[in-house]
Structure 1
Amino acid sequence: MDTATAIFTPKDNDPAQRLTGQFNFTQITPTKVHVSGQLTNGMVEKDIKEYKFWIADSLGMLLYELSKGFINGAGGWSINDSGGTNILQSDFEEGFSIKGTYGIVNLKLEISLGSDLLGSAQIKEVV
């Protein structure tokens, strides 16, 4: 089973790297990827519908949108007072896979609040 991870680590003086946390990607079937993760800091708005989650190329161009999956499959996820979340998870059949032609390894998971990028983390294969 193919797996990958994206780890958010804030960087000093970089407002586009405010998040801490980790997301994991697991290939369930050839067409389905399970994504789960938790942020421990950096989420500033309590309304989860204000956030955008996406997989981007090296230039930051959107390739795969994940927001609706997290919001629709939210299962009551929320943002606490310290800017962290409980676990977000959803299964995606958006045309991407962990590896292969439409593989997401070496792409980026990006999270924004409106047009304000909060964090970007490289997706790395777990071996």
Structure 2
Amino acid sequence: MKKSFPSSSKLSVTLALIGFITCALALVTQIALYDRTQRAYRLLSTQVFLERNIPFTASPQFKGRESQFYKRDSEVLQQQGSNLKSTLDVLSFLRHCIHYLYLLGGITAVLGFLLYPP
């Protein structure tokens, strides 16, 4: 005679597996976002350094084309800096979403273990 699992145990095992897979997915995503966030922070700190030092090089002694180039470079740096800041805002939001994904996966896994028949 074939012995089969009751449907409640299949449900609990499925819930536990879904919870573990969700937590693993959240972990992999968090590692990838950490790398991207660190890279963006490094770029932003370089950006701030360059923004602070360009006005010193664009002194009044440069007339004509040189000062135009420095002004253009300064505008480009400011635009890139604002782009980096918005990127960091999005990454921060995604990090908060990952915490909720951990919570959802953990609750699902615990629910799967609690529903397992004795």
TM-score, structure 1 normalization? 0.18
| Structure of higher CA gyration radius | 2
More strand by share: 1
More helix by share: 2
Higher relative contact order (CA 8 A, sep 6+): 2
TM-score, structure 2 normalization? 0.19
